Amino acid sequence: MSKLWGGRFTKETNKLVEEFTASITFDKKLVAEDIEGSIAHAKMLGECGIIPIEDAEAIIGGLQKISEMAANNEIEFLIKDEDIHMNIEKKLIELIGPVGGKLHTGRSRNDQVATDMHLYLRNKTGELIELVGMVQEAIIGKAEQHIETLIPGYTHLQRAQPVSFAHHLMAYFWMFERDKERLTDSLKRVNWMPLGAGALAGTTFPIDRELTAGLLGFETIYPNSMDAVSDRDFILEFLSIGSIMMTHISRLSEELIIWSSQEFSFIELDDSFCTGSSIMPQKKNPDVPELLRGKTGRVYGNLVGLLTVLKGLPLAYNKDLQEDKEGMFDTVETLEGSLKLLAPMIETMKVNGDVMRRALNEDFSNATDIADYLAAKGMPFREAHEVIGKIVLYCIQTNKYLLDLTMDEYRSFSELFYGDIYKILAPEHVAGARNSYGGTSPEQVVNQIAFAKGLLG
Ligand code: ARG
């Protein structure tokens, strides 16, 4: 058998054209979804009396056989059969004879491929939601061990105020929580069914789209056949969500890289998550977070790639749309791989709480608190800010920290200073005093973690 669309052609396809236009090398990943969609379509054709029931049964039997063969790697997909849809249809006709040719009644590859992609993303979105949950579990596990561990908190990458290490980690929990929410929300749109739109205008056959939607578990049927075969915004949405999630993964990775540098030494990644250098024997490199950060660029590229493919496309189907697949597969696989590594990397990392704590002895991250001290005694905060600024400058010039100053030194700057100032300056007090909702005090962090655990269930 030659091409399924060969009738109007008088020449063989040029080999280079065959290779250039084929998508089978990558869309074979859709084999399960393609068969699932075809089985539902065949059932509907039979039940609606569009093809005889026996024919529908023969087709479904053939498709099930192909599904088993595919699972056992027994199908050879061919470039000359272009894509997954025609490879399977050909195989079907080979297996059950010409009756297999009835499967494509009232259907086009245009609504078929869109349906496959919806089914694929629905499965993968579910899997990804679970994987994000695993990362969140890992974050909570680590956070629970470090509620009282203090780390310098930064703004502008300059020491700002001490925070609980658990609080810092939990910031990522909430980013991932919103990523999960976005994924869940996107399922509403992934659950629209294009099947039944035909090539672009619907079909002359009395099909029952409700029936196929029910069989495939779709919630909504595209009400417009042209939109159904042209829409790829459900993929754009996925790629956007994936890009946002990779941004979060990348920011966390960046912190892990910085924290594990010799200069910081706040954490140490487990040996099993690091690699060495082929020349410098002392090296232990954070390749995993570096790659997570690096792969983020690829994921953004996939989003921008598809946006660009779509921006000038007239309705309805154009072959350009075949370019929707590789980026989507790549993003799915990159996210899967990244999330799977991130969870155990967080679980196994060693936290050097004493190094973090020592760092806090050598900074001015308690300066806000003496400004607050003066403000609480009635000095306008702006004035207090000025006074403390002068004290910090004095400390820098005399090579001291705020806790090193004598009472006389303090009182030379303001009469409002008393001995209770020293207690206020301890980093534990500084962090503990930030007891407003969502703040870094142990009490707030404990509540936050309890809330987060409740969400994970
Ligand atoms: N392989 C094609 C794709 O991925 C399937 C749809 C082909 N439709 C067509 N009219 N050429 O987009």
Report pLDDT digits (tens) over 384-427: 999 999 999 999 999 999 999 999 999 999 999 999 999 999 99
Residue 207's CB is within 10 A of a number of other CB atoms, namely 21
Pair 265, 322 in one domain: yes
**Residue 316 domain boundaries:** 110-207+217-358
From first CA to last CA, the distance across the chain in angstroms is: 56
H or E segment and range at residue 61:
helix 53-71
Q: Could you read off the pLDDT of 284-293 as tens digits, one per residue?
A: 999 999 999 9
**85 vs 104: CA distance, rounded Å:** 10
Dihedral angle, C-alpha 435, 441, 445, 448, nearest 10 °: 10
Q: Which of 156, 272, 278, 436 is catalytic?
A: 156
Q: Which of 358, 385, 411 is the last residue of a domain?
A: 358
Q: Could you read off the pLDDT of 192-243 as tens digits, one per residue?
A: 999 999 999 999 999 999 999 999 999 999 999 999 999 999 999 999 999 9
Residue 212 lies in a domain: no
Q: Which of 2, 261, 277, 412 is catalytic?
A: 277
Per-residue pLDDT at 35 = 98
H or E segment and range at residue 367:
helix 367-376
Of the listed ranges 73-77, 87-91, 277-281, 308-312, the least confidently predicted one is: 277-281
Beta bridge partners of 220: 192
Average pLDDT, the chain: 97
Q: Is the CB of 218 under 6 A from ligand 1?
A: no
Residue 191 lies in a domain: yes
Pair 320, 427 in one domain: no
Q: Which of 59, 75, 105 is the last residue of a domain?
A: 105
Pair 336, 365 in one domain: no
Q: Is the CB of 67 under 6 A from ligand 1?
A: no
Q: Which of 325, 358, 391 is the last residue of a domain?
A: 358
Please check the confidence at residue 277 and state whether its pLDDT lies above 90: no
Please check the confidence at residue 304 and state whether its pLDDT lies above 80: yes
Q: Is the CB of 395 under 6 A from ligand 1?
A: no
Tell me the CATH number at 342: 1.20.200.10
Crossing angle between the packed helical segments 233-259 and 109-145, to the nearest 10 degrees:
30
Pair 271, 372 in one domain: no
Respond yes or no: is residue 41 known to be catalytic: no
Residue 169 lies in a domain: yes
Query: What confidence category does residue 2 fall into, taking pLDDT thresholds of 50, 70 and 90?
Result: confident
321 CA: nearest ligand 1 atom = 12
Tell me the CATH number at 24: 1.10.275.10
Residue 71 lies in a domain: yes
Residue 401 lies in a domain: yes
Q: Is the CB of 321 under 6 A from ligand 1?
A: yes
Percentage with pLDDT > 90 across the chain: 96
In angstroms, what CA-CA distances link 371 with 380, 381, 417, 421?
10, 7, 11, 11
Per-residue pLDDT at 1 = 58
Pair 101, 135 in one domain: no
Pair 276, 164 in one domain: yes
Pair 101, 127 in one domain: no
Pair 89, 169 in one domain: no
**397 vs 412: CA distance, rounded Å:** 16
Per-residue pLDDT at 453 = 98
Pair 343, 388 in one domain: no
Q: Could you read off the pLDDT of 243-256 as tens digits, one per residue?
A: 999 999 999 999 99
Beta bridge partners of 158: 155
Tell me the CATH number at 445: 1.10.40.30
Dihedral angle, C-alpha 301, 306, 309, 314, nearest 10 °: -160
ipTM above 0.90, yes or no: yes
Per-residue pLDDT at 279 = 87
For the chain, what is the domain count?
3
Per-residue pLDDT at 243 = 98
Per-residue pLDDT at 435 = 97
Residue 417 lies in a domain: yes
Q: Is the CB of 109 under 6 A from ligand 1?
A: yes
Per-residue pLDDT at 280 = 87
Pair 389, 409 in one domain: yes
Respond yes or no: is residue 265 known to be catalytic: no
Query: What confidence category does residue 333 fall into, taking pLDDT thresholds of 50, 70 and 90?
Result: very high
- Alpha carbon nearest to ligand 1 atom 11, residue: 319
Pair 245, 373 in one domain: no
Residue 1 lies in a domain: no
Q: Could you read off the pLDDT of 132-181 as tens digits, one per residue?
A: 999 999 999 999 999 999 999 999 999 999 999 999 999 999 999 999 99
Pair 261, 336 in one domain: yes
Please check the confidence at residue 281 and state whether its pLDDT lies above 90: no
Q: Is the CB of 110 under 6 A from ligand 1?
A: yes
Per-residue pLDDT at 443 = 98
Please give the model's pTM, rounded to 2 decimal places: 0.95
Residue 392 lies in a domain: yes
Q: Pocket of ligand 1, candidates 83, 88, 231: which has the most ligand atoms within 8 Å of its Cβ, to mutate? A: 83
